Structure 1
């Protein structure tokens, strides 16, 4: 009789331990999400550290890939997505209809802090950060060669800039592509391609990286490097003799967006993370790392302002048609490679 009782109690205790284990596992899983991002590693680490201070119980498993590689991975996993949130990813990629179909509409807390131009009309994504085109102009080269300070894309067509301009190759650089796409959108395709053909006469090199044209100009190799604003700001702060110029026609730009996956198995936790992305803590951290912050509140670093970035960056940003940029990317790059690449 005693043996049967002990066997019974062992069964009860084992069941209790199993239930407790399952309970804790369920709680752990409920507070654990997988996030895909294309934020740079140092940016993502800083943002997550701030999130962890506010949401210490939320565990985030992060996969960081370049924009193109992440696009390929999401399409490859389309039948069985493995993440809960897509975070800090190019809007040009986000608006791919195949990607949009994976996203669940969600209005996070604080979404009213993001202007309508920076979010999807159906609430499938919103953009909190981004980057934009800018010229890095070497002051010493200008003085030595008696060149005028360029203030616009049109100024770069002046004959005195022949061989003095470098810009990114749009086939390999996201910054290069946004520059080309913004010019075609601002001018219309016929005039835009004519402009690019005329500009080509002054281009010394098309460089694969978005940052290297700025670095080359900063080093005095060329007068002007068409690049992006944050690279210019960093080089100015490091003491290089350059001026950052935002072209007066407007700055082409790319936005970095966030969305909730329909397939998420931990939607409550995923929504907490997405809500946090619009919090004061998040916005404060964005301003440390990004030249474009779309969320109201926070303050731009003095170093950014001193380098020439306007406090209202929206006032100098081109209203990009990201869907057009995405739909026409292959065609535009093929035409550019056929007519201009060298």
Structure 2
């Protein structure tokens, strides 16, 4: 077996924030009526007032920190131009972002998480780290298929989905007749030492990709499927851009490649052909979630609502870095050259989250055998 892997991890220091509170009191004695009014004010009123203050829209210019994985650098300027609020964008691959979140769990430095790792975000919700029971105004724009991805506690919202992997091949090395047509074709000896893919422990879309196979085939079936390809010399690269580079450089002839990376190769004039298998492609849902103890709840909610705006999603398709995706909002047009009958198969978030550590560990174990 010929397996290439690169490990990355983020080591972060935790910041200690010191909060000070000030209180004041009036010097005059309250009147009898004032005393009566004060006594009649229930504690719930104070709680309601506190919540109203937290959700009140602040002055333009307030900044929130958004953690996102390697896409759409245009989003900060788009959001500030439309709302006046600023984004401090922290970018990394899936493993780096989730490592940061884990390291900061006692003192989170992020306000919004926008990432291609719905199973991982589901796991954060199960640990009580996300704001729950909030419905953005633009959630009413969601397509039915994306409404189904919103959890019951409304802790995160889908902004779109893309093929975590489509079949691609180098036309200088393989003819159309010899190219794989289905996912099962990849297990044939014909493609021994010819296949490349991204590491599900590092690349954010790669875990949603493999988890769909494991969910549908069962744990043993998933291990048999990927194990067969690994025994046949499948190469595992850290991220999709490295897979794309290997494909064009002739290191591999066939790849399971995230769709924006695949279409980018075609648009660059590379000798690459894209195949959408008839059974569909495993999809990765991009979701946005708010940190439950954020001090900037109003702006964080404004941002999530912004991401669900059909006009914003259309602009991301027209101008964004990751422009090949199925928008979650109704009325948004996809790229003209994207497969119009593209079928995305989404793994159940709860199932994929429950088995995430086990599946990623299995892949890691194959690297040292």
Tell me the equivalent position of 1:152: 182
* Aligned mates of 2:79, 2:366 — CA distance in 1: 47
* Aligned mates of 2:255, 2:276 — CA distance in 1: 12
1:310 aligns with 2:339: yes
Q: CA RMSD in A?
A: 2.7
TM-score (norm: length of structure 1): 0.78
Task: Tell me if the contact between 1:118 and 1:294 (Cα under 8 Å) persists in the aligned partners.
Answer: no
Task: Tell me if the contact between 1:167 and 1:225 (Cα under 8 Å) persists in the aligned partners.
Answer: yes
Tell me the equivalent position of 1:338: 365
* Aligned mates of 2:365, 2:69 — CA distance in 1: 32
Task: Give the helix-richer structure, 1 or 2.
Answer: 1
* Aligned mates of 2:269, 2:120 — CA distance in 1: 35
Tell me the equivalent position of 2:100: 73
TM-score (norm: length of structure 2): 0.73
Q: Quick one: which of 219, 224, 227 aligns to 1:197? A: 227
Tell me the equivalent position of 1:300: 334
Q: 1:134 to 1:53 in 2, by over 3 A?
A: same
Map Cα deviations across residues 233-292 of structure 1 (whole Å, 9 max, x no partner): 000000011111223333223222112333233333332222211223311122133322
1:34 aligns with 2:68: no
1:271 aligns with 2:271: no
Offset, 1:312 = 5.0
Tell me the equivalent position of 2:171: 139
Q: 1:224 to 1:36 in 2, by over 3 A?
A: same
Tell me the equivalent position of 1:259: 289
Map Cα deviations across residues 203-236 of structure 1 (whole Å, 9 max, x no partner): 3422222232232223333320222111110000
* Aligned mates of 1:84, 1:215 — CA distance in 2: 34
Q: 1:214 to 1:33 in 2, by over 3 A?
A: same
Q: 1:110 to 1:103 in 2, by over 3 A?
A: same
Tell me the equivalent position of 1:290: 323
Q: How many residues align?
A: 305
Tell me the equivalent position of 2:18: none
Unaligned runs of 5+ in 2: 1-55
Q: What secondary structure sits across from 1:51 in the alignment?
A: helix
Unaligned runs of 5+ in 1: 1-25
Q: What secondary structure sits across from 1:332 in the alignment?
A: helix
